[in-house]
Amino acid sequence: MEYIVGVDIGGTFTDCVTLDDEGTVTLGKALSTPEDFSMGAIDAVRDAAKNLGLHSESELLASTRLFFHACTVADNTLVTRSGPKAGLITTKGFGDTLLLMRGRTTEGLTETEAFHAAGQSKPDPIVPKTLIEEVTERIDYKGSVLISLDAKEAEKAIQNLIGKGVESIGICLLWALSNDSHEQTVAKMVREKHPSVYLSLSSEVAPFLGEYERTATTAFNAYIGPKIATYLQSLKTVLRERGLRHEPLVMQSYGGVLGIDDTCKNAIGTIESGPASGVVGSQFIGARIGIPNILATDMGGTTFKVSVIRDGMIEKDYKPIISRYQIFLTKIWVESIGAGGGSIAWVDPETGLLKVGPQGAGANPGPVCYGLGGTEVTVSDADLILGYLNESCFLGGKMRLDKENALRMLDEKIARPMGMSVTRAASGIARIINSHMSDLIRKATVERGYDPREFTLFAFGGAAPVHASRYASELSIKEVVVPLTASVHGATGLVSSDVVYAYGKSDHLVVPADIRRINENFSYLVNKAASNLRSAGFKEEDIEIIRSLDMRYRYQVHELNVPLKPGVSEVSENEMEEAYARFDELYEQTYGQGAGYREAGKEIMVFRVVAAGELKKPNLRKYQAEKKSPDLGLKGEREVYFEENKDFVVTKIYDYGRLAPGSEIFGPAVIETPITTIVVNPKDRAAVDEFLNVRIYLQDS
C-alpha cells in the first residue's frame, strides 16, 4: 500500500492527512512545536501512522509516494521579528524607498487602529537604514544602460554589510525588471566571496512596476529566506532519515506546491501558505460534492480566516498587505482576524465592557482548560463551560480538559468583575466571537458585491464546527459543510494540490494593445514556466497554462486581474476584445454598478502566467448510504447551553465514528469526532453525505 501524506503546521496544532491507494482518509494531529516545527510535523505523522495500525512514522514514510507540506515559519518570523540581519543594496539616491513607504498610512491597521491614525508611526523597517547601502548605476525603463555599475562602489557596499554581520542581502536596483544585468553582477560579487550569504534579487522575486512594492518584496524575501531555507533543509534531512524516499513538496501562497530548492529561493511564497491549503481543500471537496460557490472559513486556535470560491474558482490577491507593507505576492485572497479557540476574553478597564481577542493564548500555555499553565480565559474555556466540548473526549480522548479550573478562572477574571453569572459570561464570550466572525464574512462578501446567501459555508479548523452554524445564520446562509477532515483540512488541500509555477511581467500597454507585443510577453512567461515543469519531469500533456492580465482604467489606480482562456496557442484579437469587455464587467461587479469609467480608456499593466503540472488527484472514497438509525451513534446526553433557550438543555451527544452516510440528526445535538466537535443548533438538521462530510441545513433566519 502506498500513501499520499500532507502535513500542515498551524499556530496551535500540526495536522496530518494520509490517503491510501483506495482513497481512504486517515488523520493525525499533534501540538505544534515552535522551538522546532519539524518535531511537531513528525509527531503528527506518527499519530497518523498509529491510526493506520502501523508500527511507526518510519513505516508510513517509507511507503509514502508524495509528501506535501505547509508551514508557518515565514509568518512566525515576520510576526516575532526573529529573522536574521538582512541588508539591502539599492541604486544611489533610492536608499530610503523602503523607509518612505506609501502615503496610505492606515493600510494594514484594524478599524480601531486606523481611527487613531494621527498618533500612529510607521512600522519598524524590515531592514533598518543602517543596513541599506547605495551604489552608482542607472538603467532606464526600456532597459538601456545610462550609467554603468561602479564595481568598486558595489564591492565596498557589500563589505560594509558583511562587516555589520548580515546573513542575507537583498538587491533592488532601479528598472532591474527591464534589465537585470547590474543586479546579477552585484549578486555574482557576493557569491564569489561570501557564498553562505542568502541572496534576494528584485528581478527574480518581484519583476513588476512599483518601486516601493518591489523594494519591500525583495527585503521581505531577504529577511525570511534564511530561516525558511534552514528549516526546510532540516525537515528534508529528518524525513529522509525516517524513510521518506522523495523530496517534500511545499505549499505556496497561491495554492500550488514547489520543491524545496525553488521554495528556498522564493521564500516569500510560503507566507500564509497554511490558509491557502485549506482553501484548496475546500475547492477540491466542493468539486466532488457539486458545490461551486463556497465561503471557506477556518477557525483554529489563533485566527479566523475567510476566503471566497466563486464558480469553482479561487480568488487571488496580487498586492497583499503584510505587516503593514504592500508587497508583490500572488496569494489566495484571505481576510483574517485574531479570533480562534485560543482568543483571550478580557474586561476593558476603561469601559468595563467584555472583549474577546485579538490576542491569543497560543499552543503553549494555551487555554486554561488545556492544563498547560494557561491563566487567561479563552473561547475554548467558554465552549467547555457551555457544554459544547467534552472534557474527557477532546481530540478523541487524547487530551483531558480541566473544566473546574476553567470555571474558576472565568468566575475570577470575567464574571465577578462584571457582576454576572459564569454562564452569562461564557455565553457572552461565545456571542462576541460569533459576531466578530460574521462581521468578517460580511466584509468578504457584502462589502465586495457578493450575496452570502448564494454561497455554502465550509467550516474547518479545530474550532469552526462548534461555532459555524451561529455565524452562518447571522448572514442567512442556508447550509454549512463540515468536511470529513475538518480540523486537519489544510492538510487535505495539500494532498489535492498541483506543482505550480506562477510568473509575471510588467509591461504598460494602452488598449487596444499591439497583439504582437501581447503574444511576445506571454510567450516569454509561458516558456519560462513550462521549462521549469518539464525539468521537474512533467510531460506536455500534464501541463496546464493559464494566462491573465492586470488591467485598469487609464490614470486610475485600481487594477483588476482578467483571466484569458486556458491554453498555449497565441492570443487572438477577438480574445483580447473579450478580455477588455470582461474587465468592464469585473469592475462594476467589484466596485458597484455604474462605477466603470469606459470613457477614460483602458491600459494593461501586468502579464501573468500560471503553469500547473497536474499530479494525480486522490480519489476520495465514496461510502454506500445506509439506512441506519442515527441513534446507533448515540453515546449519551449532557446539558448544553443554547441561545434559543437562554439556558442549558439536555442534549443528545453522537459519536461521529458510528454514524453512516444517510444518517440524519435533528438539533439540538452535538457530534463528537476525534479531531473536532460539531454543534447542531435547535431546529437545524445535520446529515452525513457519501464522503462522510457532515452537512448542516439551517433553519430560516
Residue carrying the nine cell digits 461555532: 467
Q: What share of the chain is helix, strand, coil (3-state, %, to 5)?
A: 35, 25, 35
Residue 253 in contact with residue 330, Cβ under 8 Å?
yes
Cell of 310: 466563486
- Percentage of residues in the chain having pLDDT higher than 70: 94
What number is the average pLDDT over the span 662-680? 91
Q: How far apart are the first and last CA of the chain?
A: 48
pLDDT band, residue 328 (cuts 50/70/90): very high
Amino acid 487: pLDDT? 61
CA 277 from chain centre, in angstroms, equals 7
What number is the average pLDDT over the span 289-298? 94
Residue 676 maps to a domain = no
Residue carrying the nine cell digits 525558511: 228
20 and 111 together in one domain? no
What's the pLDDT tens digit per position in 195-239? Answer: 999 999 999 999 999 999 999 999 999 999 999 999 999 999 999
What number is the average pLDDT over the span 366-385? 91
560 and 589 together in one domain? yes
pLDDT band, residue 499 (cuts 50/70/90): confident
What number is the average pLDDT over the span 359-381? 86
Amino acid 14: pLDDT? 86
pLDDT higher at 194 or 350? 194
DSSP string across 491-509: HHHHHT--EEEEEEEEEEE
Residue 417 has pLDDT above 70, yes or no: yes
62 and 165 together in one domain? no
β-pair partners for 171: 89, 201
Residue 585 maps to a domain = yes
Residue 497 in contact with residue 256, Cβ under 8 Å?
yes
Amino acid 161: pLDDT? 97
Cell of 59: 513505516
Domain around 521: 499-613
Helix axes 181-193, 151-163, angle to 10 degrees: 50
Residue 670 maps to a domain = no
What's the pLDDT tens digit per position in 353-369? Answer: 999 988 888 766 889 99
Residue 129 has pLDDT above 60, yes or no: yes
CA 527 from chain centre, in angstroms, equals 28
Amino acid 372: pLDDT? 84
148 and 201 together in one domain? yes
Amino acid 565: pLDDT? 85
Helices of type H across 372-421: 379-385, 403-410, 416-418
Residue 199 maps to a domain = yes
136 and 186 together in one domain? yes
What's the pLDDT tens digit per position in 451-463? Answer: 999 999 999 888 8
223 and 235 together in one domain? no
Least confident of 3-17, 327-341, 518-532: 3-17
**Number of domains the chain contains:** 3
Q: Identify the DSSP state of 268.
A: G
Domain boundary among the residues 213, 244, 270 is at 270
Residue 675 maps to a domain = no
Domain boundary among the residues 251, 270, 289 is at 270
pLDDT higher at 202 or 491? 202
CA distance 28 to 44: 5
194 and 245 together in one domain? no
71 and 88 together in one domain? no
Amino acid 363: pLDDT? 62
Residue 523: give its domain's CATH number: 3.30.1490
Amino acid 558: pLDDT? 84
Residue 87: give its domain's CATH number: 3.40.50
Residue 605 in contact with residue 506, Cβ under 8 Å?
yes
Q: Identify the DSSP state of 396.
A: T
21 and 122 together in one domain? no
46 and 145 together in one domain? no
CA distance 647 to 395: 27
101 and 39 together in one domain? no
What number is the average pLDDT over the span 257-286? 89
Residue 94 has pLDDT above 80, yes or no: yes
Mean pLDDT taken over the chain: 89
110 and 193 together in one domain? yes
pTM of the complete model beyond 0.85: no
pLDDT higher at 631 or 152? 152
CA distance 21 to 16: 17
Residue 264: give its domain's CATH number: 3.30.420.40
Residue 91 has pLDDT above 60, yes or no: yes
Residue 49 in contact with residue 28, Cβ under 8 Å?
yes
Backbone angles phi, psi at 642, to 5 degrees: -130, 140
pLDDT band, residue 110 (cuts 50/70/90): low
Amino acid 603: pLDDT? 96
β-pair partners for 551: 560, 604
Number of other residues whose CB lies within 10 A of the CB of residue 35: 8
Residue 173 maps to a domain = yes
Domain boundary among the residues 173, 199, 227 is at 227
Residue 417 maps to a domain = no
Amino acid 111: pLDDT? 58
Residue 544 maps to a domain = yes
